[in-house]
Structure 1
Amino acid sequence: MTKLDILVIAAHPDDAELGCSGTILSHVAKGYKVGIVDLTQGEMGTRGTPEIRLQEAEEAGKILKLTARENLGFKDIYFLNDKAHQLKLIEVIRKYQPEIVIANAVTDRHPDHGKGSELASKACFMSGLRKIETSYNGQNQEPWRPKFVYHYIQNNYINPDFIVDITPYWDEKIASIMAFKSQFFDPNSKEPSSFISDPEFLPFIESRARDFGHRIMTTYGEGFTVERYIGVDDLFDLK
């Protein structure tokens, strides 16, 4: 078992890169161990294939310097927030024992995002219940509940509860996004167009990051929502 400081849960490969890769890079640079678990292979997407998406996720993981990345193979669009899916995600949470989980937006244009958010939140709570039994590699797992669950912001605008300065990591964030080259604008692509392959989509991602950055008096930021209040010991910890 490799213990992680932060586990990012994403409904689709590229969700984490679009939503919080700057924050991932920032914390990896500070020495934290960060991993991503993608729930699906994004196989219902307009462009690319599951095999291509897995290759792209591996390349993005190298750019982000992840400690771990895995794909649970849930059915894109059709996965549920039910017992079978909860138990599988609990196994992963107990396997990596993260202090912090960052999950999909609480609501969004794509229904899998809100559904993935709810699944992650419930699994994080359930993972701490001793009477829920799971195993990994034939060994019974100990209960584990992350200290914090945060949610990144995706397509739909949600007013953030806090914003992370990602200015020093902007170029690497974009590189991690563009590792998913099958998904985004390419004038030479023969595949059908999609919502995110529109040439205006990546400028939208930048404008959102600039808006969040402006709010904290920096250039680029990523916004997050919380499930409970954040406490501090020192007012000077706030920027």
Structure 2
Amino acid sequence: MFIKKTNSKTILCIVAHPDDEALGVGGTLIKHSRHGEKVFLVILSLGEGAKINKTDKNYKRLSNARKWSKLAGVNLHKVYKYPDQKLDSVAQLNIVKKLEKIIESLKPDIVYIHHPNDINKDHQIAAQTTLVALRPIAYHKINPEIRCFETPSSTDQSPYEFPYIFKPNFFVNIQDVWKEKLIALKSYEKELKAFPHPRSYKAIEALAIKRGSESGLKKAEAFYILRKIW
């Protein structure tokens, strides 16, 4: 059960695939929701084709995303059916226009995106198109804080050198929501791997402990603040 407090902030998370949000920013989104903030999730790529039938993998991925969102207290706002691992085959302006409409409608205070230099091409495009949609434009007057998150097996596999390196400058204490993060993560259990894969339960906890130790906490999720206006 979530203990809600009064708060007017609107949070938006835009990811390439179902499970990216659970792995990279799950604890933080749960914490936002627990504090009474409105949290919205947009997923760009579910898989090939416009139709989803109940027997295929894409339907199961959508079902998993819905289950995770419900457990996390997150509004699954929109799921697009752009081709999985082929976002580079889609005209980026098409994605940008759709994201602009969502941003103008929700008017988020904070937006979570993939790190632009993730090794996964879909993650790169999801981040880049979101940044284009979030560029300061006089007519929409929306300038949310932009926080980049890390995705296990993607962010960590980028070259460990400038400009690719993920160097966090903001940490969120997720010790108090760790159990909720794990419970929600089970929605994607079939997507998880055996240790020592970075997307195993043990490795995910190890990363949380590592980020916590870097910030004087027991467990944390780490972010790079790309833009913040005060």
AA of the residue aligned to 1:61: S
8 Å Cα contact 1:13-1:42 kept in structure 2: no
Say yes or no: does 1:174 pair with 2:182.
yes
How many pairs does the alignment contain? 201
Q: Equivalent of 1:5, from 10, 24, 31?
A: 10
8 Å Cα contact 1:101-1:146 kept in structure 2: no
Distance in 2 (alpha carbons) for counterparts of 1:217 and 1:42: 40
User: What are the superposed Cα offsets for residues 22-79 of structure 1, whole Å, 9 maximum, x if unpaired?
Assistant: 11111111111101001111569xxx71100000000000111113432022222222
Structure 1 unaligned blocks of 5 or more: 131-142, 185-196, 232-239
Aligned to 1:119: 129
Map residues 7-156 of structure 1 onto 2, 5 A cutoff: 7-42=12-47, 49-80=57-88, 82-125=92-135, 128-130=137-139, 143-155=140-152, 156=155
Distance 1:229 1:6, change over 3 A: closer
Distance in 1 (alpha carbons) for counterparts of 2:224 and 2:96: 22
Distance 1:85 1:17, change over 3 A: same
Q: Which runs of 4+ in 1 moved over 3 A?
A: 228-231
TM-score of the pair, normalised by structure 1: 0.77
Aligned to 2:53: none
Aligned to 1:198: 194
User: What are the superposed Cα offsets for residues 70-95 of structure 1, whole Å, 9 maximum, x if unpaired?
Assistant: 20222222224621111011111112
TM-score of the pair, normalised by structure 2: 0.80
Distance 1:144 1:175, change over 3 A: farther
AA of the residue aligned to 1:145: I
Q: Which moved more, 1:57-66 or 1:88-97?
A: 88-97
SS in 2 for 1:27: helix
SS in 1 for 2:191: coil
Over aligned residues, Cα RMSD in angstroms? Answer: 2.2
Distance in 2 (alpha carbons) for counterparts of 1:12 and 1:90: 19
SS in 1 for 2:194: coil
AA of the residue aligned to 2:143: P
Q: Which has the larger radius of gyration?
A: 1
